[in-house]
Structure 1
Amino acid sequence: MQDISIISMIFTAAIALTCLFLILSPLFKWDAYITTSTKTQDIATTKEALLTTLNEIEFEYKMDKISHTDYKVLKRQYETEVASIMKEEEQLIDKSVDVDLMAEVEKEIEEQMQSYKNKKGEGK
């Protein structure tokens, strides 16, 4: 009888420790809370901030808070920055597109269009 109670106590302790580990382990995974932003996320965030600033400049100009010359200079400056960021974003997108895959997709589209034209011609 004594053996059964010792085994059951060990088993119960093991289950309790396992449950405690499963409950507390997410609290100690620091890497889950640290996010690394990729370059595309940084570019998107920067572009959004610049576009917001452009909207604010436009609003302040319409409210007569800044002069016309300041408005033109600031607007030109931020538009140039947005344009350069959009070019950089486009270059990143172009690098991520697989050329062979795109060629294969375009070939399949052409084949589908040709078969559609052939079916359409047969129906007449």
Structure 2
Amino acid sequence: MHDISIISIILTALLALACLFLILSPYFKWDTYLNVGVKGQDLVSTKEALLITLNELEFEYKMDKISHADYKNLKKQYEAEVAGIMKEEELTIAARVDRDLMAEVEKEIEAQMKNYEQKRGKESD
């Protein structure tokens, strides 16, 4: 009988912890912990959102919904963010191109080395 009460206490505690987890999990941003290499996609979507926001900002300014000072400040802020994202995208592309270029150069060097070794082998025969 003593064994059944310990097992029931453990099962009850596990059930309570599972319920607590399910209740509290929406309050945590799990995607930041589980984010595995979608940064490039994130940059593109962020840039698109900022460009849409800039477009809407200009529309609201032309409709006289916001003041000229607010328009200038917000436009400057959003343009700076877009420029930063574009610069980061450019660096990512440049790094990828550099990696690809180095791989091609290494393949060409290996081919030249094999060719040289084959010529050297024929000369020694």
Scaled by the length of structure 1, the TM-score of the pair is: 0.51
Q: Which residue number corresponds to residue 100 of structure 1?
A: 102
**Residue correspondence of structure 1 range 41-60 to structure 2 within 5 A:** 41-60=41-60
Which ranges in structure 2 are unaligned for 5 or more consecutive residues? 1-34, 106-125
Shift of 1:37: 6.2
Q: Which residue number corresponds to residue 64 of structure 1?
A: 64
Deviations along 1:39-66, whole A, 9 cap, x unmatched? 1100000000000000010000000000
Paired residue total: 70
Distance 1:63 1:95, change over 3 A: same
Shift of 1:100: 3.4
Shift of 1:99: 2.3
Q: Which residue number corresponds to residue 38 of structure 2?
A: 38
User: How many percent of aligned residue pairs carry the same amino acid?
Assistant: 64
Distance 1:90 1:50 in 2: 17
Shift of 1:101: 6.0
Q: Which residue number corresponds to residue 82 of structure 1?
A: 82
Deviates more, 1:88-97 or 1:46-55: 88-97
Letter in 2 for 1:56: E
Deviations along 1:68-99, whole A, 9 cap, x unmatched? 00000000000000000000011111111122
Shift of 1:36: 6.1
Scaled by the length of structure 2, the TM-score of the pair is: 0.50
Indicate the SS of the match to 1:50: helix
